[in-house]
Chains A and B, each alone.
Chain A
């Protein structure tokens, strides 16, 4: 098995590196590192790199995954060390493993949302937002725009702390395959709900990805 799964973080200003730019960044980092990567066959050979779950622009993460095909027997520790030397500072490889869990089994992801607020909000207000049965929203897909009920994409949530001017909560959102939703849609709907100008800034951070196997849900790795 030559496929290696790398877990990495994308922090700081790295959140503004788009998915396509990230692919290019990895391709070139692998080149610079001189690692023996495998190429696809065909007219326009390219490195075999697959991200498990694309991350929305503007979102940081401590738990991203990418599968890369290397030549057989490439040392995993060497891959981590060399890639970290050749990646820009905001992207850091945390560990390398053999991919066991399939990316197509991903069902959801956990996000931490930190809001800067003009005035404080209470847990009740958050509850009221999530208690709505219908949260109409528009989702952009490859085929165009689609009207959805955002509530169907939201799992559990938890207020982690709040002050006069900030609030932080955790939320689990559908992810992967058909039911993927970008966390910024939730945040903009929430801010709309809280009222004009209440949210001054929002930082979104992905902390965990989940997959399903039969009826069990577990952390993707």
Chain B
């Protein structure tokens, strides 16, 4: 036994020494690559508030990977929270890893440099735990590509004792089945508590000298941890799923997500890395609440993050002040799924303005709804900066808005537009979806009609009051993607040809130059649907696509639909099975063993109500008993 422990200690020592040696080894080679790539600031680290720790032998090392380029990943709040939270622990070092842009990937491969962490240039392979955040399905190929760049075996079953554990969290982890072969374990829900727990267990496991499996068995007992390898999936003849069953005792039949019951009492982020280069969201992000009271039937976030939990205004003020002092940012944005639903929004804004105006910090309020937008609110934000306004009616007719439970009336939008125009705005963006369930030609044309009515409002306002002679209304449509854990999870997606027809119809219906129309590529939306609702048979497709060079699929210039089709065909899988099939309520879904709190029966009921055109009140109006109350907190107990 003693021998075994000594052996293990020696082994650990060797790994550590190797780690430091490889650090200096790669740093010089890596630096040489920087001269040959665009935007080298993506790869240099050392930003203000970044954490550069001395690596010590007994520390747990966690590589936080964002499967997209630096400026996208650095705009993500969740990463910032968990990065600082883990680094606040003396026994843990957390470093960032982003997908290198294609020019950098080429240099890395050419010079045989594995993927390294941003802070210490440590190969990803040498970390204890490698964690990916899955924010959108179209980043899955980058997850595989990053593992490949890191020279880590792509499949969980091929990894052994010297390899790190690969985990993944974020919204797409709730149905992470397409990555089930790749990821060792998924973290479901909010990470503030559970990430600490997996680190604690890791320390104990490392001391114990037990094998890899023992760690996975131990953490599978933690609520919110899903080890896909501990579940067997059986299929029916028609390719649908027959059953998903745990194959060992430690694994629960259903895995329940984790939430933070009281946000104020949990880890609250009060500092942020300030990047050198311009990133997508280059500002303070002040998270005001999680979840959404609304229940739009297409919106996955609206169900995944239930129940709604708010920060207190006092805590937010305290946090905002610390953020201002620690970052020096000139802009602060309130973050949530629906800003105007924050209970004390007016008080919050008044008090925030007291600390921001003198310091010339702009306050921005994204995600405003048209049904509770007031002149007062707008004027307050205006005292700092007048940026463009964006609203999301989502559908063109009242009938369809009722189907999707977007409780917004045409009169709300027109009233809000009037307020905005009278307040001096002359640019407005409207977001819609096409391909929603039950959609007809009338609904598509309705988008143009609605936009036209907004234009008409502008021109009825006397010239002396409105600003500028010209109004710009930008209409953007995305294509509806049915998502797991929503009432529309059983819905088929419109075929690409149909979506293109609808886009054309809308384009032809728009008559005035005041309206400009943007739309999304339908091929991307199709693959998004496939992977959103996919099962673990798609693992082969992902790996095959990566081999063919698929990466950065969220970027138009890199998305290669033909390669994807080849990958499907090589794996003998028909993608249409996942995207275009209407699913019966009785069918076993690939994600049925994941428990988000909201019950499947509730989603079925909502699905039925959609077809009846019946709307559902918000959580604050009336509790409809979705099941999220089982978490024992938030709006359910207000």
A residues lining the B interface (CB < 8 Å):
12-14, 16-18, 20-22, 24-25, 27-34, 39, 45, 57-58, 86-90, 200-201
Contacts and interface: CB of A to CB of B under 8 A. Distances in A.
B41 interface: yes
Contact of B44 (A16, A32, A34, A87): A16
Nearest to B47: A88
Nearest to A22: B276
5 contacts: A13-B31, A25-B274, A28-B329, A32-B48, A32-B327
B276 A32 contact: no
B518 to A, nearest CB: 27
Contact of A201 (B32, B41, B47, B327): B32
A13 B35 contact: no
Contacts of B32: 200-201
Interface of B: 31-32, 34-35, 40-41, 43-48, 274, 276-278, 324-330, 359-360
B329 A31 contact: yes
B69 to A, nearest CB: 16
Which interface residue of A12, A25, A27, A39 has the most chain B CB atoms within 10 A?
A25
A218 B350 CA distance: 55
A39 B360 contact: yes
B46 A58 contact: no
A52 to B, nearest CB: 20
B304 to A, nearest CB: 34
A42 to B, nearest CB: 13
A16 B48 contact: no
Q: Nearest 7 CB-CB pairs, A to B? A: A31-B328, A28-B328, A32-B328, A16-B40, A13-B44, A21-B276, A17-B276
A16 B34 contact: yes
A25 B360 CA distance: 17
Given A24-B276, A86-B48, A201-B32, A17 B329 contact: no
Given A12-B46, A24-B278, A31-B324, 18 more contacts: A13-B31, A13-B44, A13-B46, A16-B40, A21-B277, A21-B278, A22-B276, A28-B48, A31-B330, A32-B48, A32-B327, A33-B328, A34-B325, A39-B360, A58-B40, A86-B48, A89-B46, A200-B32
Contacts, number: 70
A18 B34 CA distance: 13
A25 B40 contact: no
A154 B276 CA distance: 32
Nearest to A17: B276
B48 A29 contact: yes
Which interface residue of B45, B327, B328, B359 has the most chain A CB atoms within 10 A?
B328
A16 B41 contact: yes
A88 B35 CA distance: 21
Contacts of B360: 39, 45
A25 B327 contact: no
Contacts of A88: 46-48, 276
B195 to A, nearest CB: 27
Which interface residue of A28, A45, A58 has the most chain B CB atoms within 10 A?
A28
Contact of B328 (A20, A22, A30, A57): A30
A21 B276 CA distance: 5
Contacts of A33: 328
A87 B32 CA distance: 25
Contacts of B43: 16
A181 B91 CA distance: 49
Nearest to A12: B46
Nearest to A31: B328
Contacts of B40: 16, 57-58
Nearest to B42: A16
B23 to A, nearest CB: 14
Given A17-B276, A21-B276, A28 B327 contact: yes
